[in-house]
Structure 1
Amino acid sequence: MSCWNRRLRRTWVAVATAGLLAVPVSASAAYGAETPTPPVATGTAPARDGSTLPPLSADVADKLDAAIQGVMSKTGVPGAIVGLWMPGKGQYIRTFGVSDKDTREPMAQNFYSRIGSETKTFTVTALLELVDQHKIGIDDPISKYIDGVPNGDRITLRQLAEMRSGLWSYTTEPAFAEALFADPGRSFTPQQLLEYAYERPGVQFRPGERFDYCNTNLVLLGLVVEKITGRPIQDVIEQDVVRRAGLTHTLFPTDAAFPEPHAQGYSNQTKTGAVENVTDWNPSWGWAAGAMISTLEDLHRWASVLADGTLLTPETQAQRLKTKPTGIEGAGYGMGIFDIQGWIGHNGSLPGYQSLTIHLPGPDATLVLLTNTDTSYREFEPSVLLGRAITEIVTPDHVFFLPKPVSESKPSPSAPQSTPPSASPSS
């Protein structure tokens, strides 16, 4: 899902700071270097004021083309969809590579994609809407709503949303990985996911003590939303978040259904560690932490809605954006949202797919990336390497980057890393 993830077949790791859901992870080398097809300019999308931005200058576009192709060639990413909007400078919308490695069908701008842990931004928004409606208190203990949570009388809803609860993530448990690998098409209930999380006794640390990206947190918040509204989480998000935000191609599936058109997804987060087509894996195990699907156009709109707090009161949005240290230089995490070198948003990773949706308030810039693989390159997420390569060119004072996790046991939604591999085609 969206997450900062790592560590595969041995145990699943819960992503860290940015937002990858985290699935079992195997080795790092991707598919080998397939030469990506030339970029295809795929039209325009309206700016925030409804107007259409002109294209970025040819010089900048050429640099972006080369940088993106360089990352894809080095990492073996089959296909990517990229959207960059910079009022005053222009927009850049491109597709690269293939959506199907067998048929060689190219990627297209209108494809649906699984967005993994970006789901967290929708779930927490639904929760904060209930805060604004005075139906819950953000500093209420989770035990007020859900029974049986370890340390539940001391863990607040705020701490769950900030990834500071101290709970164990179900995605790190070997029993969960075994169950998923045994039948990737099965459906998991939220209660089953919590049972995996509670298999380990106790908690990792005292609530609020530190940051630790944990998908269990969002399952609990999803259950709170359901309890207070009396509706399934997918209905709440569709009616109270997606529609209010003006999104038309964003959904929360309850099974493996995947709207057409979409790319085939490829992953080495498989039982054998070999790269496989995992398009039809059931994302129910991500639930409120990472099951959603969206498109480039919708995520473009969502980036600014999320960063501006359009659906929330100014007071609640200010609290949401009050980020705290994550242990990763330049990266803070608020309530279901990160701030990395000024870029506000979230990333996502689910077997076969990755996404990145971020907004830079000063220049009002938005970047959206979608790929049809989650296979890492030297422990770096493909979306992270692409995000870095793009922002190095267009916002050199605000370079998006998440290094590898500090340790395998504490991964991150888009793992923090130390010295990244060069993104240039020649290196």
Structure 2
Amino acid sequence: MFAATLLAASVPAVIAATPAAAARALATGPYEEDECPPDGLDPELTARLDQAVEDIRRQAGIPGVITGLWLPGRGSYVRATGVADTATGAPMTTDLLMRIGSETKTFTVTALLQLVDERRIRLDDPISAYVDGVPCGDRITLRQLAEMRSGLFSYSADPDFAQALLSDPARSFTPRELLAYGFRHPNTAEPGETFQYCNSNLVLLGLVIEKVGGLGLADFIRQRVLRPARLRRTLFPNGAGYPEPHAHGYTDQTLSGAVEDATDWNPSWAWAAGAMISDLHDLRRWAEIVATGTLLSPRTQAERLRVLPTGFPGTAYGLGIFETGGWIGHNGSLPGYESVTVHLPVEKATLVLLINTDISYQGQEPSTLLARAITGIVTPDHVYDGTVPVS
């Protein structure tokens, strides 16, 4: 389970909370004229996928699923099933915006690596050169932060943080407030010693980008990543703003354990680790950009893809990116939403999944169940299994 799992906040979702340029971009369609979706898959294969997705959706109690699968030379499978709003019964549709949780990490690390390409930072610089007060910061490198081997305690695992967040999901956290929850604990390991998923790592990298890049993180990502990637419906929100159209999201990560609508919870708690919003067609483009290194030099992309074992069978982790069954990318989870965006270079295939719940089923993330089933059907030699426990 690669994800920023915990919680966020309730505030009216107003488009005014997003940058004006992003708001204008969200009004445009997902495709340019030369980007029309390819033809559908073989009818028999399509029927098998329909059945698999619907079976898992019903068994796992997922309200709605958006699926995009593109297989060059074989066709595509683009579907929305279930509901976007359980109160009204409004159907899930493929054009909806969704919170993408820890997929934000791929954007943050891409921004960081652009600064590496410009020789403004080095991956083996200590974090203490940029941010004060980090435990063992003189021995923890930017590389170790990006590859989840810093040994820092994750703020999102702190009980007081969870209580603060769940008590007031509308609360806005600053990056320094988040880090303080983690820094009160001893480090869990020596720098570089072991893989441990940690949201504190990405918050620190966000602060490095701001210091060196000279812009707020959201502005830097918008100017340096989203614009050149031509991602018109992807944004880093300012607070709880959530432009229409979007699906409602449902979670049981609440103080009572009851299921609640988490649609408007404030994702500031996840910031550089998990606050972003996107849609199916932008993520299709992004999956290939991340896996092939379009926005980076070949040398820096090679550093990114130097994946190391995580200690969990079948999954390795690089610089803000994982590899499982040959699929490269990331997943995301935060209250109410889960996602998977991965690319399979050997077949030039792309898979994007967006669902409106983070409620586990038999101890597993529903997005992982879907990805595993879909890849088991279409790429049986390359089955997705990105399951890694996180704090």
Place the TM-score, normalised by the shorter chain, in its bin.
over 0.9
Aligned runs of 1:53-132 on 2, under 5 Å? 53-132=38-117
Structure 1 residue 402: deviation in Å? 3.1
Task: Measure how far apart 1:329 and its partner are.
Answer: 1.1
1:146 corresponds to which of 111, 131, 136:
131
State whether residues 379 and 404 of structure 1, in contact with CA within 8 Å, keep that contact through their aligned partners in structure 2.
Answer: no
Tell me the TM-score normalised to structure 1 length.
0.85
Query: Per the alignment, in what secondary structure is the counterpart of residue 204 of structure 1?
Result: coil
Residue of structure 1 in register with 2:4 after alignment: 21
Shift of 1:210: 0.7
Amino acid at match of 2:353: L
Aligned match of 2:19: none
CA apart distance, 1:51: 5.7
1:28 alignment partner in structure 2: none
> Does the alignment pair 1:388 with 2:372?
yes
Q: Is 1:300 matched with 2:250? A: no
How far is 1:401 from its partner? 1.1
How far residue 404 of structure 1 moved from its aligned partner, in angstroms, is 5.9
Task: Give yes or no for contact 1:45–1:52 (8 Å, CA) kept in 2.
Answer: no
1:351 equivalent to 2:322? Answer: no
Contact 1:380 1:404 in 2 (8 A): no
Partner of 1:198: 183
State whether residues 255 and 284 of structure 1, in contact with CA within 8 Å, keep that contact through their aligned partners in structure 2.
yes
For residues 238 and 277 of structure 2, the distance between their equivalents in structure 1, rounded to whole angstroms, comes to: 11
| Normalised TM-score (structure 2) | 0.92
1:372 matches 2:356:
yes
CA deviation after TM superposition for structure 1 residue 281, in Å: 0.5
Tell me which residue corresponds to 1:342: 326
Question: Which residue of structure 1 aligns with residue 263 of structure 2?
Answer: 279
Asked whether the 8 Å contact 1:159–1:165 carries over to 2, the reply is yes
Question: Would the alpha carbon gap of residues 148 and 113 (structure 1) be closer, same or farther in structure 2, given more than 3 Å must change?
Answer: same
Correspondences of 1:102-251 after superposition (within 5 Å): 102-200=87-185, 202-251=186-235
Question: Match of 2:199, as an amino acid?
Answer: N
Q: Which one has a larger percent helix, Structure 1 or Structure 2?
A: 2
Shift of 1:203: 0.9
Contact 1:46 1:53 in 2 (8 A): no
In 1, Cα distance between the equivalents of 2:40 and 2:294? 27
- Deviations along 1:219-253, one digit per CA (max 9) or x if unpaired, are 00000000001110000001100111111000001
Sort the Cα spacing of 1:404 and 1:236 in 2 relative to 1 into closer, same or farther, 3 A: closer
CA displacement, residues 151-207 of structure 1 (integer Å, 9 cap, x when unaligned): 00000000000000000000000010111011100100000001101111x311111
User: Does the CA contact (< 8 Å) of 1:45 and 1:53 recur in 2?
Assistant: no
Give the Cα separation in 1 of the matches to 2:264 and 2:286.
26
Shift of residue 45, structure 1, vs aligned partner: 8.1
Which residue of 1 is the match for residue 245 of structure 2? Answer: 261
Give the Cα separation in 1 of the matches to 2:386 and 2:282: 24
CA RMSD of aligned residues (A): 1.6
Helix, strand or coil for the counterpart of 1:269? Answer: coil
Contact preservation (8 Å) 1:56, 1:91: yes
Comparing 51-60 with 262-271, greater Cα deviation is found at 51-60
CA gap of 1:261–1:51, structure 2 versus 1, over 3 A, is closer
Residue 66 of structure 2 contacts residue 92 of structure 2 at CA under 8 Å; is this kept in 1? yes
For the 8 Å contact 1:80–1:95, the answer to whether it is kept is yes
Give 1:52 shift: 3.8
Residue 229 of structure 2 aligns to a residue in which SS? coil
Does the CA-based 8 Å contact 1:388-1:399 persist in structure 2?
yes
- Give the secondary structure class of the aligned counterpart of 2:95: coil
Unaligned runs of 5+ in 1: 5-18, 25-43, 406-410, 413-427
Q: Is the 8 A contact 2:360 2:366 kept in 1?
A: yes
Distance between the aligned counterparts of 1:249 and 1:72, measured in 2? 26
Counterpart residue type for residue 398 of structure 1: H
**Paired residue secondary structure (2:122):** coil
Aligned to 1:316: 300
Q: How many Å separate the matches in 1 of 2:259 and 2:35?
A: 42
Separation in 2, partners of 1:53, 1:279: 32
Query: Gaps spanning 5+ residues in structure 2: where?
Result: 8-28
SS at match of 2:89: coil
8 Å Cα contact 2:30/2:282 also seen in 1: no
Partner Cα separation in structure 1 for residue 270 and residue 305 of structure 2 = 24
Distance in 1 between residues matched to 2:131 and 2:248, nearest whole Å: 38
Q: Distance in 2 between matches of 1:51 and 1:377?
A: 35
Q: Distance in 1 between matches of 2:5 and 2:140?
A: 23
- Is contact 2:31–2:281 with CA below 8 Å preserved after alignment? no
Provide the C-alpha distance between the structure 2 equivalents of 1:99 and 1:403, rounded to a whole number of angstroms. 26
Deviation at 1:379, TM superposition (A): 1.1
